[in-house]
């Protein structure tokens, strides 16, 4: 059976740590070359992207492989071909499938029917590839042991928040989430993580940020939520990351954001463009962390 990456929990904690070490080795040039020569990754985009597409495509090229872009507009999926049939057909052509879409159930169905590894490039439920890059950025800043690195999430309890909660449970750091009422993360996921680490939910961003070594957020209205933008802007007004809020964090704290960012909404320009920001290092690390992931999944896939 193929090995899939649908959430961070498809790795165990030791595998996740090893993957982050390998990502840094790939970034530094200590490891590299045509590890995936002759391998091909199909990339299905039902949601548009900048970082996900470029990082996976460039990553395959750098590893000696090839990537094929598919969207509803450029494939039969746009005319209603089933996930089952898409999975079976692509499995006969390629060595792996990355999909960026809306429903987690669609990724899971693809994985059920594919005979090659499936990678979740993003769903409305989780964004595990982004967390690989975020964790790599943390290890570059704080070292391999992140257990003493409290993370403060400010804003929507969305797919990014869910993936941060999974990461905290796997690596043992404290996770603090400040979310407006009505925008909390999945309570079942929170309770599951509390068996492994401290997960704190609060309405007060200052409480979440106090002493944190990582402060992170996301846009107030994610892709597909544009019609809710006005309502969300009112609900999230007190959840902007600014210099005053960052001043409550640890002296060595860094700011992360998965991008794209809306300066002046969820974060001020002074923070995201300031000395504590690591957002562009974080964005670059999508490339290296995903290369490590693709080597893990595709090197022995066939």
Q: Which pLDDT does position 277 carry in this prediction?
A: 98
- The verdict on whether residue 286 carries a ligand-binding annotation is yes
What is the rounded average pLDDT of the residues 74-101?
94
Q: Is the pLDDT of residue 267 over 70?
A: yes
- The verdict on whether residue 222 carries a ligand-binding annotation is yes
Q: Is the pLDDT of residue 300 over 90?
A: no
Q: Which pLDDT does position 74 carry in this prediction?
A: 85
Q: Name the band, by pLDDT with cuts 50, 70 and 90, for residue 228.
A: confident
Residue with tokens 């003493």: 148
Q: Is the pLDDT of residue 293 over 60?
A: yes
Active site residues: 100, 127, 130, 218, 258, 286
- The verdict on whether residue 223 carries a ligand-binding annotation is yes
- The verdict on whether residue 127 carries a ligand-binding annotation is yes
Q: Is the pLDDT of residue 77 over 90?
A: no
Q: Name the band, by pLDDT with cuts 50, 70 and 90, for residue 187.
A: very high
- The verdict on whether residue 128 carries a ligand-binding annotation is yes
Q: Is the pLDDT of residue 8 over 90?
A: yes
pLDDT tens for residues 30-39? 999 999 999 9
- The verdict on whether residue 51 carries a ligand-binding annotation is yes
What is the rounded average pLDDT of the residues 95-113?
97
pLDDT tens for residues 196-215? 999 999 999 999 999 999 99
Q: Name the band, by pLDDT with cuts 50, 70 and 90, for residue 178.
A: very high
Q: What is the DSSP string of the chain?
A: ----BSSGGGS-HHHHHHHHHHHHHHHHTSS-SSTTTT-EEEEEESS--SHHHHHHHHHHHHTT-EEEEEEGGGSGGGGT--HHHHHHHHHTT-SEEEEE-S-HHHHHHHHHH-SS-EEEEE-SS--HHHHHHHHHHHHHHH-S--TT--EEEES--SHHHHHHHHHHHHH---EEEE--TT-PPPHHHHHHHTTTS-EEEES-HHHHHTT-SEEEE--SS-TT-GGGHHHHHHHTTT--B-HHHHTTS-TT-EEEE-S---BTTTB-HHHHTSTTB-HHHHHHHHHHHHHHHHHHHHTT--
Cβ 298 vs Cβ 117: under 8 Å: yes
Q: Which pLDDT does position 172 carry in this prediction?
A: 98
Query: What average pLDDT is seen over the chain?
Result: 96
Of the candidates 297, 291, 295, 296, the residue with the CA atom closest to the CA atom of residue 23: 291
As given in the structure block, the two tokens for residue 175 are: 């996770």
- The verdict on whether residue 258 carries a ligand-binding annotation is yes
Please calculate the CA angle 61-136-129 and round it to the nearest 5 degrees: 60
More confident residue, 228 or 249: 249
Lowest mean pLDDT among 108-122, 163-177, 211-225, 243-257: 211-225
Q: Name the band, by pLDDT with cuts 50, 70 and 90, for residue 301.
A: low
Q: Which pLDDT does position 226 carry in this prediction?
A: 66
- The verdict on whether residue 129 carries a ligand-binding annotation is yes
Cβ 36 vs Cβ 63: under 8 Å: yes
pLDDT tens for residues 110-142? 999 999 999 999 999 999 999 999 999 999 999
Q: Which pLDDT does position 225 carry in this prediction?
A: 63
Q: Is the pLDDT of residue 261 over 70?
A: yes
Q: Name the band, by pLDDT with cuts 50, 70 and 90, for residue 223.
A: low
- The verdict on whether residue 166 carries a ligand-binding annotation is no
pTM of the model: 0.96
What is the rounded average pLDDT of the residues 152-173?
98
């Amino acid at each position: 059976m193929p090995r899939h990456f649908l959430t961070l929990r498809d790795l165990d904690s030791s595998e996740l740590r090893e993957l982050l070490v390998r990502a840094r080795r790939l970034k530094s040039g200590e490891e590299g070359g045509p590890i995936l020569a002759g391998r091909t990754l199909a990339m299905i985009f039902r949601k548009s992207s900048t970082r996900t597409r470029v990082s996976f495509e460039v990553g395959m090229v750098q590893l000696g492989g090839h990537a094929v872009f598919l969207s509803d507009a450029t494939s039969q999926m746009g005319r209603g071909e089933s996930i089952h049939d898409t999975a079976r057909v692509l499995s006969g052509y390629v060595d792996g499938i990355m999909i960026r879409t809306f429903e987690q159930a669609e990724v899971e169905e693809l994985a059920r029917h594919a005979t090659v590894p499936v990678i979740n490039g993003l769903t409305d439920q989780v964004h595990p590839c982004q967390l690989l890059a975020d964790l790599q950025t943390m290890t570059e800043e704080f070292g391999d042991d992140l257990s003493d690195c409290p993370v403060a999430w400010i804003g929507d309890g969305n797919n990014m928040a869910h993936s941060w909660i999974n990461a905290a449970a796997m690596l043992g750091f404290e996770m603090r989430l400040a979310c407006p009422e009505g925008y909390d993360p999945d309570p079942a996921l929170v309770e599951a993580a509390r068996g492994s680490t401290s997960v704190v939910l609060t309405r007060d961003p200052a409480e979440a940020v106090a002493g944190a070594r990582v402060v992170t957020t996301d846009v107030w209205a994610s892709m597909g939520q544009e019609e809710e933008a006005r309502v969300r802007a009112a609900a999230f007004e007190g959840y902007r990351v600014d210099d005053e809020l960052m001043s409550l964090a640890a002296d060595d704290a860094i700011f992360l954001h998965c991008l794209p960012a809306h300066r002046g909404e969820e974060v001020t320009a002074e923070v995201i463009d300031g000395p504590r920001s690591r957002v562009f290092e974080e964005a670059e690390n999508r490339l290296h962390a995903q290369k490590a992931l693709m080597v893990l999944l595709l090197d022995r896939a066939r």
